[in-house]
Structure 1
Amino acid sequence: MASPNDPFEFQEFEEADSLLKANRDATTISIEDEDIKTEKQRKADGDEDPLGTDDKTELLSGQKESPPFWTFEYYQRFFDIETHHVKERIIGSMLPWPGKNFIHVYLRRNPDLYGPFWICTTLVFAIAISGNISNFLVHLGKPNYKYTPEFGKVTIAATAIFTYAWLVPLALWGFLLWRNNKIMNLVSYSFMEIVCVYGYSLSIYIPAVLWILPYEWLRWCSIVVALCLSGSVLVMTFWSAVSDDHPKIIIVITSAIVVLNVLLAVGCKAYFFSKPEPVLTRHSSAATQVTMVPS
């Protein structure tokens, strides 16, 4: 039995009891009853916010679904990015560091399509325009040369670059997804993350203006530097996704990433900046003709 001086013993509020006895006509108000009454009155008056209620219900229940991928709202979030984030990702794609994963450092599960789209578009026009200007500078000063702009190079450059920036990531994403189902502890990347990495890795090729100068050694030096930087970013990024796989798979994936990157750079060099054939003038061709005169 508790002692009379026990502090934990329930004690009635004698003062409140005495006040109620003195005034029998007083009314008591309960906080819970007031809250319920206020809520009912709000519903009756129609002051409740249906949008807020729906959002709270969806967030609490976890049933807020993302829009399907064929809608405009699905891709809208990939273009919602700050300018300084794009600058950081461009610089990070040009300056690879050992052990630095581009996805983990710069993307942070927030890939974008704004940077890759404009990088690919800028590269298309840079290569096409540079190829036309390079061809013009090589033939500049020749009397029988007439400059004709080759607009077909824009279409060819767009086909090559956008195919590389979309189909190669699609194939790589499918292969990594298949290997992840085989080996459960492999690191997996989403398709948009892989597209973002490949798009930003092409930014190093934009300084194609250096290839305009009619110096073959300068063009090859630019290609080698761009290949080393771009290839290093790609290999170091996807190394963590295949490092725990079979050694043969690691060699195949790494070789495919490097070879496809080399094919794109060397193919653009060979087609858009190849050394032109010497133009034969009408006088020089006539001089080479030999007329056989019978003795």
Structure 2
Amino acid sequence: MDFQQDYEEQQNDNHLNEQLNKQQGLDNTDITDFGNVNNHYEQQNEHNFVAEPNQQYESTQNKKSQQPQQPQKNLGFFGFLQVEFYQQYFNVDTEDVMNRCKLAINPLSSGDFFANNRENPDLWGPLWIYTSLVFIMASVGNIQGYFSSEGSSFRFDYSFVPFAALLIYLIGFGTPILMGIVMKCFGNQVTAFELICLYGYSMAIYIPIIVLCIIPFDWSQWLFLAVGTGISIHFMFKNLKSEFASYEQNKKYLMYGIIAGVQVLFLLFLKMYFFANFEAYD
């Protein structure tokens, strides 16, 4: 009897222990699962925190790249009278202009300036070059007048400024426009703005050349001006050679003659009008 009672108590204890073990196991499982959930949540948050800025940046870049370009505004037949028409010809920065000037000044530079910049011709560079030439020519012309005065009273000659401006802008825009008209008649598709850009940079060499002409010797001025004119003509010939390749021989000579003739006339104007009084120092 006692044995049977002990056996039943032992069975009850075992049953209670099993229930307790099951309960503890369930609690451990819940705790473990809860911990896993927390770890997963923390990892997900960490991943989102790191990835979110990159995703936003990529999303912004994608939106920019997918953004359709605005169509070019139709300005009509008289569009050239509006400011918007000329905005495309000022799409350059200082570095672009300086690099183009370096190529134009260096006669040994390789590459086709005209072909490489034909898709983005600019007016900023030529306008800057022409305006610089106007002030340099007027300044040097008055400096030579001061040297030639030989101690007598000297007065600043303001007429140099309008004459230099008229000469520079007339040649700078008139020559390429004339060339464009003639080339159109010959069946060439080059535009006047492309030629204005090319011719404008060909005049960059005269900026240092005219400064050197301050040296008060007639022979040195002729030498400097001849070298500058030669570099300018060479730059034009080299870049328009491919455009003239399909022309007949007489048409080629005509185009080369226009370029060389205008530059030689410019040389003579510089020497005879702005630096005429330096002959006394020889």
* Both structures adopt the same fold (TM-score exceeding 0.5): yes
Aligned residue type for 2:161: V
Q: Which of 179, 188, 202 in structure 2 is aligned with 1:172?
A: 179
State whether structure 2 residue 266 is matched by structure 1 residue 267.
no
Gaps of 5+ in 2: 1-66
Counterpart in the other structure of 1:123:
133
8 Å Cα contact 1:116/1:196 also seen in 2: yes
Counterpart in the other structure of 1:85:
96
SS at match of 2:257: helix
Counterpart in the other structure of 2:153:
146
Aligned residue type for 1:199: G
Distance 1:261 1:277 in 2: 22
Distance 1:276 1:97 in 2: 32
Greater fraction helix? 2
Deviation of the 1:82 alpha carbon = 1.7
8 Å Cα contact 2:144/2:278 also seen in 1: no
Counterpart in the other structure of 2:164:
157
Shift in alpha-carbon separation, 1:149–1:236, aligned structure 2, 3 A? same
Aligned residue type for 2:203: L
Distance 1:171 1:118 in 2: 21
State whether structure 2 residue 146 is matched by structure 1 residue 136.
yes
8 Å Cα contact 1:130/1:209 also seen in 2: yes
Greater shift, 79-88 or 164-173, is seen at: 79-88
Aligned residue type for 1:194: L
Distance 1:108 1:276 in 2: 41
8 Å Cα contact 1:165/1:195 also seen in 2: yes
8 Å Cα contact 2:216/2:278 also seen in 1: no
Counterpart in the other structure of 2:201:
200
Identity within the alignment, %: 29
Shift in alpha-carbon separation, 1:95–1:78, aligned structure 2, 3 A? same
Number of residue pairs matched?
211
Aligned residue type for 2:101: I
Q: Which of 227, 232, 236 in structure 2 is aligned with 1:230?
A: 232
Query: Can you list the C-alpha shifts for 1:19-52, whole angstroms capped at 9, x where unaligned?
Result: xxxxxxxxxxxxxxxxxxxxxxxxxxxxxxxxxx
Aligned residue type for 1:93: A
Gaps of 5+ in 1: 1-54, 181-185, 279-295
Matches for 1:21-32 after TM superposition, within 5 Å: none
SS at match of 2:277: coil
Matches for 1:23-62 after TM superposition, within 5 Å: none
Counterpart in the other structure of 2:36:
none
Counterpart in the other structure of 1:103:
114
Q: Which of 105, 108, 112 in structure 1 is aligned with 2:122?
A: 112
Matches for 1:178-257 after TM superposition, within 5 Å: 178-180=185-187, 186=188, 188-207=189-208, 208-257=210-259
Shift in alpha-carbon separation, 1:210–1:268, aligned structure 2, 3 A? same
Distance 1:158 1:201 in 2: 17
Aligned residue type for 2:144: S
Query: Can you list the C-alpha shifts for 1:220-269, whole angstroms capped at 9, x where unaligned?
Result: 11101101111101111222112211101111111111111111122111
Deviation of the 1:80 alpha carbon = 2.4
Q: Which has the larger radius of gyration?
A: 2
Distance 2:121 2:72 in 1: 21
Aligned residue type for 1:267: F
8 Å Cα contact 1:99/1:236 also seen in 2: no
SS at match of 1:275: helix
SS at match of 2:155: coil
